Amino acid sequence: MLTTIVWVGFSQSLFAAILVAAKKNIQKQDRILATWLFLLAAEFLTCGIDYLVWGVPLLSSSFLLFNPAFFLYIRSLTKAGFKLKASQLLHLVPFIVFESASYLLEEKSTLHNFFENDSTQWFRFLFSIASVISWLVYNYLSAAMVFRHRKKLENEFSTIESEKKLKWIISIVVLYNLYCAFSLILGVIQVSVPGSGLSQYVYNYSALLVLIYILSFYGLRQERVFQTEENPLEEVKEKYQNSVLSTERKESIKEALIRLVESSKIYLNPDLNMNMLSEMLDVPKHQLTEVINSEIGKNFFRFINDYRVEAVKKKLLDPNNLYSIEAIGYDCGFNSKSSFFTVFKNVTGMTPLQYKMQNSKE
């Protein structure tokens, strides 16, 4: 069974890596994903060779590969202006060190002798500690990046498409942590009761294969979230705890912003984002973000969509309007039926139809 899983995993990883590497208009996150899939293909290949040579795989450090690679991939998706640096290869050092040491020591991946007092007991303990630390640290950092990203979206975009929300990444974070937790429990059981339950490496490589299918499917479809490069200094300024803007300057920006939005009705553009608004007003993006958050008391997403909702309300109650409710939503700047209904209900507490029925003149 294991050999089948291993060779399927090798084929799938290699094929997916080639597809991602050949992707049209390849982005930095695609290069990271392609490299990651190539390394996973190598991991499956070495496992298959180990099984042929020693009858069982050698101690695998796939955890030490998956954790930092997943972290770097999420970082490339969620950080504006992300750049690949040679120093980031240091994240793979633990994987390379333990993978090489497993071959030098010929340490087999069996749990029945985990506590056996032999010459490589220290290596098994060190490997286990490193794997758990890697899991805890990288998964915490990865999850934190995704949740920070979700908050940041509302200060960047007036319309948030599904590929920007990275729901599939959140699903993988949850699934991977469940997989790691169950793997830890399974390992403890097999150490305590040798020969019991599901084979640890059959379980590990089966779960890894499922994750590869998910990564290759969604990774091929994933587009870059932030399309423009930013000055890293702006990320610090954007927090604006120590604002350099005077009260007069904030009020001036606020007035210019509201005047532009209301006179030009730029909220009707479903693709409106902070970069576009910054260029229109000739005001740095971090200053606009500060004014919208601190002076208006909303994030960019809510600020723009409140205007869209008000426009929808007027059209819903217009007796001369012949458009359907969905068409009104599109006409007022929403780019999908689902986002229209969700935003409208969040703002008004009712659906567009309920609002129309409740407020229309009899």
Segment 89-110 shows an average pLDDT of: 83
Each residue of 286-338: pLDDT tens digit?
A: 888 888 888 888 888 889 999 999 999 999 988 888 889 999 999 999 988 88
- Tell me the pLDDT band of 180, cut-offs 50, 70 and 90: confident
Please state, in angstroms and rounded to a whole number, the distance separating the CA atoms of residues 167 and 232: 26
In this structure, what are the phi and psi dihedrals at residue 58, rounded to the nearest 5 degrees?
-75, 165
**Domain 245-359 top-level CATH class:** mainly alpha
pLDDT in tens, 126-173: 888 898 899 889 988 988 888 888 777 777 777 765 555 677 788 888
Measuring CA to CA, how many Å separate 20 from each of 14, 128, 173, 248? 10, 32, 21, 51
CATH number of 2-221: 1.20.1070
| Residue 253: how many other CB atoms lie within 10 Å | 20
Which two three-digit tokens encode residue 133?
A: 């630390």
Please, how many CA atoms are within 13 Å of residue 205, restricted to the half-sphere of its CB? Answer: 31
**Residue 244: count of CB within 10 angstroms of its CB:** 9
Is this prediction's pTM over 0.85? no
Domain regions of the chain by residue span: 2-221, 245-359
